[in-house]
Structure 1
């Protein structure tokens, strides 16, 4: 457990100062996952924002915040935020199950699209911006500091693309009963390559085809694996300890002094906690550790619940079925058993899934079985979306193939404009 230290007068320490790496590890383990039933689901959907009159122009911060201020109340209760590059994110509250979360998010998406269209903006659901160069518009101090950190660490190009040119659909699920954590976290990782192949929707970045179906996943793979790689240890039998080990080995990105300041050089959090290195001329606090965890971006991130972060942003026609599929494969015992078997041979093929999508025979076979299992369990209001996803998977096509065809026919500017105007 993380412990606090009692401070003598004049000692200079603080009440929540961490005394060692082992104390930091205990703090992480204690808060990693929450024991409880499965069922509740939360969704986050990011969309690139385009000027309907000039899709090559990136709307500015004042324009975006004005459009958000003009929004009517959102019926599903989502929060609205702006990503560093101007992508607009809806973050829905956790609801009783996937179907409820999807219905609420769909209502909020409809209100958001209509209001932004009235302001002259279109919201495009793609995994990466296919048209505009990377550029930050959010002036937040955290993002300024992250930008400097990536440049100093030699990953400036990938870091800028990650922050300002990528978008995802994130599915948040409960950790479930403690007795099943290891199997649940292993399955969430094992599903990664198959779900990446199903949702790959970013064949272009900055005006060029990259040769990858999911350029978003490629961008993440170009960043530091200690910060962005999977968290599982050799066995995966103790995900809480795996996460603590991962977090303490990861280099510190930002320190508050009091504003976020990038850390020059490679300083694992464990070294700071053990006092081998002092950042800001001090030892870390539990608040520093909690903030450090927010600068780690593994494909599955424990936050009491599980954040599943590896999906490309996909169209309004299929994100509901994608979200339902992933939640079902993790929360329904029968579907989970089938998914574990179906994905066993492709559980670590992250790069191949991002590069070729469903053209890989083994990934295609796993995808067909997983989507079919979800389709059998889908409620009536998701049937249309599930049928469209099932058809695409059966044909071995991912969304990137459809977008690439559109670009070949209309050009990248024309394709983006069509999507921004709501044309399917």
Structure 2
């Protein structure tokens, strides 16, 4: 009788070389996790400013000290720092709008208090007007990102160092067709996107390439490389369309196995990397881990990560400004009646804009330039905000949230305005003598 020998450990599939079919299966299997919509999340990015002299850039040491004070807090949300020093709070997935809002609000209160002790404040603005733009974080990822983006112009650095948003995350939806089906919600997210850009535009530019735009942040995203920030075609099956889009987008960078700079190849799509094994570019074959990382370097206006991540909304002014896009987006996706109203409104709006994909079609361009001054966008926004307001009581929204949405609707939407039109919101960023850098 021979001695029993333990079986060898299973190989870690994350580190195995991928086949093209394997890569397609992985993306196809994770992009849309379907089921009845029940979870909501929000990611809030903020500029960190000096409380008394907000028009001046902060010294890196002082900004870093503020970040460390915030990191030391015990928070429910995930706190991260963007390359330019923007602070981001990402909520845990919440089972209701109330849970999402209450968790983020408690964490925001704690962060604001910690920063206030150091003479710092959070400010909701889609584009930082202060100059020069500086990168605070020094890491192989951000070094590689800048190298990649610099090949196509300055938009990449502006996005990394000077932009801030409210990102709202909703479930992908049901597998079956209907107002809450994932195919309808995927299409709604892209059609509604231009209305959200216009209604929440809060990055006005008074000079430079986006002079006169209400949402200069969207201009920056529009000027990134053509596939990385582009929506996939919406006329096909969503999983197949996203899988093709993801694999046919260029690889931004290849992580080093040890300390050292990451490789930034030229003109290599992920599909090419799989097919060639990287030999033509002096690379090793890609693994599932590489594919997972590649997906994090794609920045379309709506990103499928199992759930849908809506990325087109500017950071909002005021302490409670972030409540409105969070609540309105939730209502328009997760209340069946509001979802149907929103879909009909934006479908009619977008029928005349051809097949160019977001954000590079005429409608998105108009939304970024004019906000709700465009009469068609104003009409669609009015219908959508009315439907959201009617849905919020059905969704159990608090009086505070409902009042915030109603106040925003009355102040901006019904009047064809957006926060960028409200120049008084941005006066604290201006030098009192008029010498500061204007947004």
Normalising by the smaller structure, the TM-score range is: 0.7 to 0.9
**Cα distance in structure 2, aligned partners of 1:410 and 1:58:** 13
Question: How far off its partner does 1:387 sit?
Answer: 1.8
Q: Partner of 2:276: helix, strand, or coil?
A: coil
300-309 vs 97-106, which moves further: 97-106
Aligned twin of 1:92: 91
| Selected match of 1:388 from 398, 407, 410 | 407
**Aligned partners of 2:15 and 2:289 also within 8 Å:** no
Deviations 1:90-140 (A, max 9, x none): 111011122321222122212211211111112110000123232211112
Q: Partner of 2:431: helix, strand, or coil?
A: helix
| 1:213-292 mapped onto 2 (5 Å cutoff) | 213-231=214-232, 233-236=233-236, 238-258=237-257, 259=260, 261-275=262-276, 277-278=278-279, 279-292=281-294
Aligned twin of 1:309: 311
Aligned twin of 2:166: 169
Q: Partner of 1:133: helix, strand, or coil?
A: coil
Deviations 1:50-71 (A, max 9, x none): 1234434433554344323334
**Cα distance in structure 2, aligned partners of 1:137 and 1:207:** 23
Question: How far off its partner does 1:312 sit?
Answer: 0.3
Aligned twin of 2:144: 145
| Selected match of 2:346 from 343, 356, 364 | 343
- Alignment CA distance shift 1:313-1:182 (3 Å): same
Q: Partner of 1:325: helix, strand, or coil?
A: helix
Return the TM-score normalized by structure 1.
0.87
**Where in structure 2 are there 5+ consecutive unaligned residues?**
1-12, 351-360, 435-439
Question: How far off its partner does 1:230 sit?
Answer: 1.1
Aligned twin of 2:431: 413
Question: How far off its partner does 1:239 sit?
Answer: 1.2
Return the TM-score normalized by structure 2.
0.84
RMSD between aligned residues = 2.6
Aligned twin of 2:324: 321
Aligned twin of 2:335: 332
**Aligned partners of 1:74 and 1:111 also within 8 Å:** yes
**Cα distance in structure 2, aligned partners of 1:406 and 1:305:** 33
**Cα distance in structure 2, aligned partners of 1:44 and 1:182:** 24
Q: Partner of 1:178: helix, strand, or coil?
A: coil
Aligned twin of 1:298: 300
| Selected match of 1:352 from 353, 361, 366 | 366
- Alignment CA distance shift 1:414-1:191 (3 Å): farther
- Alignment CA distance shift 1:88-1:395 (3 Å): same
**Where in structure 1 are there 5+ consecutive unaligned residues?**
1-12, 417-424
Question: How far off its partner does 1:221 sit?
Answer: 0.1
Q: Partner of 1:135: helix, strand, or coil?
A: coil
Question: How far off its partner does 1:43 sit?
Answer: 0.9
357-366 vs 97-106, which moves further: 97-106
**Cα distance in structure 2, aligned partners of 1:216 and 1:206:** 13
Aligned twin of 1:399: 419
**Cα distance in structure 1, aligned partners of 2:142 and 2:391:** 41
**Aligned partners of 1:99 and 1:324 also within 8 Å:** no
Question: How many residues were matched structurally?
Answer: 399
**Aligned partners of 1:318 and 1:386 also within 8 Å:** no
**Aligned partners of 2:277 and 2:283 also within 8 Å:** no
- Alignment CA distance shift 1:357-1:224 (3 Å): same
| Selected match of 1:178 from 151, 175, 187 | 175
- Alignment CA distance shift 1:178-1:205 (3 Å): farther
Q: Partner of 1:175: helix, strand, or coil?
A: coil
**Aligned partners of 1:205 and 1:215 also within 8 Å:** no
| 1:21-100 mapped onto 2 (5 Å cutoff) | 22-71=21-70, 77-100=76-99
- Alignment CA distance shift 1:56-1:410 (3 Å): closer
